[in-house]
Amino acid sequence: MISRIEINDIRYPLPGNAGSDAIHRDPVYSYAVTRLFDDKGFIGTGFAFTLGEGNDLVCKAAKYYADKLVGKDIEETMATFGSLFFELSNDQQFRWLGPHKGVVHLALASVTNACYDLWAKKRGVPLWKLLIDLSPEEIINTLDLSYLEDELTREQALQILRVQQSTIKNREKIMETGYPGYDTSIGWFNYSDEKVRENCYKAIAEGFTAMKLKVGSADPDRDIRRAGIVREVAGAQVKVMLDANQQWNLPQAMAICQRLKDIHPYWIEEPTHPDDILGHKKLADSIAPLKLAIGEHVPNKVVFKNYLQAQAASFIQVDAVRVGGVSEFITISLLCKKYGVPVVPHVGDMGQLHQHLVLFNHIKMGHEVIFLEHIPHLKNRFIHPAQIINGTYKTPQEAGSSCDLVELAK
């Protein structure tokens, strides 16, 4: 039984321009952390990610949701978590503040993730193993499929999982090899050209075969020049992604993406406003075969449904610490599977939680694994930091979702 809850506002200033992008010049990586204390001594930890200011608002909203969990048994809760998610996310007064977006939905992510962490810890297994061992019915019972009835009924969702059941063994091999990470830290926005070049060499030496540069400068020539540096150092075989962090308007994006084609980027990420579904569609059509990646700021399953229906993005970067947690992440992954669009999470969690979810998506749902973003800046802040060796994410073995923070350890 969950006997008490605790919410913590944890903020980590970053050194020397790390984390900077076209919009966020001075981010403070922050977590609104929910902890659920079980009367058997287990602690479920989950969080949402913010860039500093307002992390306290998310904490306050998380407390509102988490208070409702006191007295509940985690196994019983997770047996019908989809219903609880529906109930919490449609709380009749609180929902006005969204619905299903912004502060309240970030808060729900924090609480949801703490539930999944507690569930796995009580079973004594890593989250990926817990999820893979569930039956298709048990998984679907943790999901809220409301407002998706036109695209993904319960029966259709079950069917997606059922057809994959017989081939799970083949895909479990990935647990031995691990899967590629990509390096987001070669080219933060405020890094000098020299530092970008140096970081590219370093990333390649560390075994990375994919890396990402921040673009979206007021001066397009700066973007072109820096992208050229990365491609030059990386060579033709390495995947190079370019991330504009919404800094372009649509006409600007159409123009500069044409110029960036020569660099052969693997994708262009967040070219413009994350709510502009039809804008992304227009851009995607105009720059094909160059591909778009979107999701870091997309708040919920309904907006992702629209992106998929419009065929406006080629990679879905859903983040389980932005949407309503693991539950909604899985829901969105099912939608993506139906549409044949790969899921490549954005890692507000620094990959800690998502390393489990990528394994689940691949093994249980049959998603292709391309790679997972790697951001090293908070590595020492986690009790069980993700292990990236030779550019490869290794399979986590500790019980839970790898989200416990050093700061909160006794």
Binding residues for a second copy (CB under 8 A):
23-28, 50-54, 56-58, 60-61, 64, 90-106, 146-147, 149-150, 246, 249-252, 272-279, 282, 297, 299-300, 302-303, 305-306, 309-310
Q: Which is nearer to a second copy, 155 or 176 (CB)?
A: 155
- CB of residue 176 vs a second copy: minimum separation in angstroms? 37
- CB of residue 149 vs a second copy: minimum separation in angstroms? 4
Q: What share of the chain is helix, strand, coil (3-state, %, to 5)?
A: 45, 15, 40
- CB of residue 325 vs a second copy: minimum separation in angstroms? 16
Q: Which residues of 268-300 are buried (b: 16+ CB within 10 A; e: fewer)?
A: bbbbbebebbebbbbbbeebeebbbbbbbbbbb
Q: Which is nearer to a second copy, 22 or 131 (CB)?
A: 22
Residue 39, Cβ neighbours under 10 Å: how many?
A: 10
Q: Which is nearer to a second copy, 20 or 164 (CB)?
A: 20
Is 355 in contact with 326 (CB distance < 8 Å)?
no
Q: Count the residues in the chain.
A: 410
Longest CA pairwise span in the chain (Å): 59
- Is 384 considered catalytic here? no
Q: Which is nearer to a second copy, 37 or 147 (CB)?
A: 147
- CB of residue 269 vs a second copy: minimum separation in angstroms? 16
Structure tokens at 2: 């969950």
Q: Where are the alpha helices (DSSP H) in 209-300?
A: 220-234, 250-260, 277-287
Integer angstrom CA distances of residue 172 from 128, 178, 278, 360, 365: 11, 10, 38, 10, 12
- Is 346 considered catalytic here? yes
Structure tokens at 87: 């109930």
- CB of residue 97 vs a second copy: minimum separation in angstroms? 5
Q: Which is nearer to a second copy, 70 or 278 (CB)?
A: 278
Residue 112, Cβ neighbours under 10 Å: how many?
A: 30
Place of tokens 């992510």: 109
Which of these is catalytic: 280, 346, 362, 367?
346
Q: Which is nearer to a second copy, 97 or 168 (CB)?
A: 97
- CB of residue 224 vs a second copy: minimum separation in angstroms? 21
> Exposed (0-12), middle (13-18) or buried (19+): which is 166, by Cβ within 10 Å?
exposed
Which of these is catalytic: 214, 281, 301, 362?
214
Residues acting as catalytic residues: 214, 346
